[in-house]
Amino acid sequence: MAPPPFDPAMMTCLLLYAYCVGVFSSRKIAQACERNLAFLAIVGAGRPDFRTISLFRKAHLDAFADVFVQVLRLAQAAGLVRLGTIAVDGTKVQGNASRHKAMSYGYMTQEVVRLRAEIEGLLKQAETVDAQDDAVLGARRGDELPEELRRRGDRLATIEAAMKRLEAEARAEADAERQRREEADAERQRTGTKRRGREPGPIVETPADKAQTNFTDPELSIMKVANKGWEYGGNAQASVDGACQIILACDVTDQCNDQRQAEPMAAATRAELDRAEIAPAAEESGGRPRIPAVLDTGYFSGPAVAAMEREGFDPYIATGRQRHNTTPPAATAEPATTPVTPKERMRAKLDTEAGRSLYARRKTIVEPVFGQIKEVRGFRRFLLRGLAKIRGEWRLVCLTHNLLKIWRYGSGFLRGSRCALIV
């Protein structure tokens, strides 16, 4: 008789506790269930093996979206969510894919030609062998597909599918670049300004020879990792409340930069707040004040600012990088000239004393969160494959971050302690 299934509540508690203490591998979780007293207190006599833990996590990743909202409500009840200021940023997290299982578009083209030539030669060889076998075997079977032909055929199909993915991505990037140029031309015509620099080259809809894709996890992109060169991974995004570093929304994208992430993160933050029924105090009386949101220069664009304002946020986005060891100009109460373009308006907004004071808080709000996740808990690599599963895994990491915040100083905040001093 088959053993009874494990209690879903127990399995959920096991996963949440494991992620809180920095144990992410299903094999290590199962091992801890045999040796660690805290894990034994959760599972009791029924100890799931690593396959059960892994399958439960994969099967219920979407359900953890509801758990994320429930934890957000707990943080609000503990007084840890103020919505005074939020900060949005991204961090690169390595994926479960090797750089050695990747191939460039140029090499794929050469490999396709070589494989087709080999397959054609093997087919001719097979026809010769079939003719010889027919003479010897007669009506008996002897025409099975050679293993080397099947192997090359499978590899050819895999490479051609990868080439189609790169070609589709190149067409999408060409369409985006075409739209960007049209918007820039319209803005220049409206303001009467001339193009600066050289005329841009023609838009190319075919992949570059150096464009790569990975065979292990095709949905991941090659990204530059700080001090480690290039790795296949995801760009993990987080929207963090400024009071006690509670994560309000999270996502993972395959885009290497953050320029297109301001709008989806603003929409995700607003959606999560609405689901958790969290709103600023003034909003409850009928008004809808804009929540200040600070983002670094990688997020800036005119459409991004407009999208965030539509979602009910007051964006403060840097328009350029500040050089080290340079003194910024003195803050002004009003700009010297009337700003015209979105970039000029945002720069004038950040040059005010209020704007500089607000933007200076960005590093103390969102960047420590990534440090706590990566350094303290040791989450530096996704274990699952596929963008949808990676997003679910990142959500699980973020909701356990919020649980740790509630456990560490939720009650202390209600007593008036300064949560900013507690990590």
Tell which residue, 362, 278, 291, 368, has the closest CA to residue 78.
278
Q: Which two tokens stand for residue 312?
A: 């009910």
Res. 285: pLDDT tops 70: no
* 232-280: pLDDT as tens digits: 888 999 999 998 999 999 999 988 888 889 999 999 999 999 999 998 7
Res. 412: pLDDT tops 70: no
Euclidean distance between CA atoms 302 and 376, whole angstroms: 37
Euclidean distance between CA atoms 213 and 167, whole angstroms: 11
3-class secondary-structure state, position 24:
coil
| pTM of the full structure | 0.78
Bigger pLDDT: 55 or 169?
A: 55
Euclidean distance between CA atoms 376 and 89, whole angstroms: 19
Query: What average pLDDT does range 50-54 have in this prediction?
Result: 93
Euclidean distance between CA atoms 401 and 251, whole angstroms: 15
Quick check: 42 and 376 in contact, CB under 8 A? no
Supply the pLDDT for residue 420.
41
Out of 14-28, 89-103, 286-300, 332-346, least confident range: 332-346
The DSSP call for residue 279 is: -
Handedness of CA 13, 14, 20, 24 (dihedral sign): negative
Q: Using alpha carbons only, what angle is made at residue 416 by residues 276 and 284, rounded to the nearest 5 degrees?
A: 35
Q: Using alpha carbons only, what angle is made at residue 260 by residues 256 and 263, rounded to the nearest 5 degrees?
A: 140
Handedness of CA 190, 193, 196, 202 (dihedral sign): positive
| Domain residue ranges in the chain | 8-58, 64-97+218-421, 102-194+206-214
Residues in a beta bridge with 233: 94, 221
Percent of the chain clearing pLDDT 70 (strictly above): 82
Res. 297: pLDDT tops 60: yes
Supply the pLDDT for residue 4.
60
Res. 374: pLDDT tops 90: yes
* 56-87: pLDDT as tens digits: 999 999 999 999 999 999 999 888 999 989 99
Supply the pLDDT for residue 156.
75
Longest Cα pair distance anywhere in the chain, in angstroms? 97
Query: What average pLDDT does range 107-132 have in this prediction?
Result: 72
Bigger pLDDT: 302 or 414?
A: 302
Euclidean distance between CA atoms 215 and 103, whole angstroms: 8
Supply the pLDDT for residue 141.
53
For tokens 């934890």, what's the residue? 71
Bigger pLDDT: 397 or 127?
A: 397
Supply the pLDDT for residue 249.
95
Q: What are phi and psi of 207, to 5 degrees?
A: -65, 150
Q: Which residues contact 115 (CB under 8 A, 6 or more apart)?
A: 152, 155, 156, 159
Quick check: 350 and 356 in contact, CB under 8 A? yes
Do the bridges between strand 221-225 and strand 229-241 make them parallel or antiparallel, or are there none, so unpaired? antiparallel
Q: Which of 133-137, 160-164, 283-287, 313-317 is most confident? A: 313-317
Quick check: 104 and 236 in contact, CB under 8 A? no
DSSP letters, 325-356, are: T-PPPPP-SS-SS---SHHHHHHHHHTSHHHH
Percent of the chain clearing pLDDT 90 (strictly above): 39
